[in-house]
Structures are given as structure tokens and as C-alpha cells.
Amino acid sequence: MAVRLALEAGRVEIVSADAFLVYRGLDIGTAKPTLMERRGVPHHLLDVADVSKNYDVARYVGQAQAAIAGILERGNTPLLVGGTGFYLSALIRGLPLTPKSEPQARAALEQELSERGLDALLTEIGASSPAEARRMERNPRRVLRALEVFRQTGRWPGEFGSTSPAYTYRVAAFSPPLPELERRISERAAAMFAAGWPAEAQWLASQTDPATVPRPTVWQTLGYEQALAVMRGELDVQDAQQAVVQATRQYARRQLTWFRRQLGADILEPEAARRLVADWLARR
């Protein structure tokens, strides 16, 4: 949709807002836009990081804002595309002023999550701040980060404020109806395994060990753990595929909830969103 809109409007460049499309070599498991899809429309924030290095929101915001500045200087319009809520929020609202993460504290919390489970950690947050617990949206990464900050400072991440955003944005969020969304998730997972996802996961494991503590950021990408298990003969394709489908469905629902609650966005039908963005681009 983004590529079609850009080609129709002209003088539009796409900026990815996806936490894992930044990594070089992760093409299948992230459903990275193909070279054919990118033809004729400049794309930014794809393939800008090595998988052996952690990539964080501060680096993303700096690179995204630099890309946007360059697009505007060329007299073109930036179109941000993607669903990583934390990255979008940092662009729209400003970069959180929370302290930097400490690897040892993070590793201890990851072990605690494994031993106690997500619900126990959410209960701990809720006992101190019910509002903070609701804000977590059952996202394990957010839960770990919130507890890390709270135990370090006695304050929750939302209490630190943010930097001033460099630009203002218009937001359009959309999704097909749930039955179609679930069908497409299933078809997408099957296509990714058929395209060689297990081999890509094995390559990733050769570059950065998933057993490292704290776990490398790149291994938080949904589905790579299951794809690697297939390659190692620990899981058959059907079971791995079903696990990925289930996790993706859960993630998609969390995304929709996040867009409604955090960005105040209405979830539009795809065609309605396409018309809305096309109208914005026509009037720019």
C-alpha cells in the first residue's frame, strides 16, 4: 500500500518504522520489502545495522530524523511505515528520558521472567502502579524495561518525560477484518518457512549466539527461535509454523490495542486508510 501510494503521488520517500527491518541479513523472517517492491520508491532505515550489534530506540530516532530532514530538503514527502509502537511513540512524542539499560540488571530480569512468568511480574508492577501495569499491554520487553527502571530509580518509565519531537505527524492505522487478518498471518508464516526461514535463522545463530545473557536484541524478533529449532531438528515445520502463527496473532492484537490507546488512532479498513493517506499526499 505504501509503495502504491508513493508511486501514485510522486516525490514521496518511505521511512521504515520497524525495529527489525534495520538489520542486514534478516530478510525472510522480517518480511523485508523486496528489491522489486522498493524499485522506484526510495526506502530508508532498512539494512542499517549489523545483527551482532544491539540497536535501540535512541539510535533509531536519530537516524529516522536525519532521513526525514534529508527527504524534506529534497522537496519530497516522508511516509513512515511500520508497526513498532515504541519507535513510533519516540518519534511522535519525543525520546524517553529514562536511564540507559544495564546489561547485568537486564539479564537478571530475563532470568526472573523465565522463572516467575509474565503474570507475576505484571502483578508486581500493578501493586505499585495499576496504570503502569495497564500501559505494559502484556509486552514482555516493556515489562522488563519498566521493572529495570523502577528497581534502579524508584520511578516508572512514564514518570521521566521525553525530549521534544523534531516533527509533527499525522497517523493512519488500519487492519483488515479479524478473519482476514488471521488468514493472512497463517499464509505469511507458511510462505516464510517455505522461502528458507530456518536457514536464515541458522545464519543468524552463527553471527550472534541466542544463548548469550542478556539475550541479543535481534533474537527478540518474532519467530526466529522456532525457525532455528526447525533447522536443528528440534521442531517440525508444522509445529513451528503454528507456534509462529499463534504468537503473531497475539502480537497483532497488542499492536491494534496500542495504536488505539497510545496514539488515539481509529483502526480503519485498509481502503479507507489508503484514501485518507492519498488525500493527505495530494494536499501536501
179-218: per-residue pLDDT in tens?
999 999 999 999 999 999 999 999 999 999 998 877 888 9
Is the pLDDT score of 31 beyond 90?
yes
Q: What is the mean pLDDT of residues 76-93?
A: 94
Q: What is the pLDDT of residue 274?
A: 97
Residue 177, burial from CB neighbour count under 10 angstroms (0-12, 13-18, 19+)? exposed
Please indicate, yes or no, if residue 153 is contained in any of the structural domains.
Answer: yes
pLDDT averaged over the chain? 94
31 and 128, same domain (yes or no): no
Q: Say which range, 31-40, 113-122, 135-144, 261-270, has the weakest mean pLDDT.
A: 135-144
6 and 79, same domain (yes or no): yes
Residues counted in the chain: 284
> d(Cα 156, Cα 137) in Å, to the nearest integer?
15
Is the pLDDT score of 157 beyond 90?
no
Amino acid, single-letter form, for residue 117: G
Compute CA distances 210 → 50, 93, 216, 225, 229, whole Å: 15, 33, 7, 8, 12
Please indicate, yes or no, if residue 221 is contained in any of the structural domains.
Answer: yes
65 and 32, same domain (yes or no): yes
9 and 70, same domain (yes or no): yes
Of the two residues 107 and 276, the one the predictor is more confident about is 276
> d(Cα 138, Cα 141) in Å, to the nearest integer?
9
118 and 20, same domain (yes or no): no
Q: What is the pLDDT of residue 237?
A: 97
81 and 205, same domain (yes or no): no
25 and 61, same domain (yes or no): yes
Q: What is the pLDDT of residue 106?
A: 86
169 and 155, same domain (yes or no): no
Please indicate, yes or no, if residue 258 is contained in any of the structural domains.
Answer: no
Domain count, the chain: 3
| CATH code for the domain of 190 | 1.10.287.890
206-253: per-residue pLDDT in tens?
999 998 877 888 998 999 999 999 999 999 999 999 999 999 999 999
86 and 168, same domain (yes or no): yes
| CATH code for the domain of 64 | 3.40.50.300
10 and 75 Cβ atoms separated by less than 8 Å: no
Confidence of residue 171 (pLDDT cuts 50, 70, 90): very high
Confidence of residue 134 (pLDDT cuts 50, 70, 90): confident
The boundaries of the domain holding residue 184 are: 178-252
Please indicate, yes or no, if residue 203 is contained in any of the structural domains.
Answer: yes
100 and 148 Cβ atoms separated by less than 8 Å: no
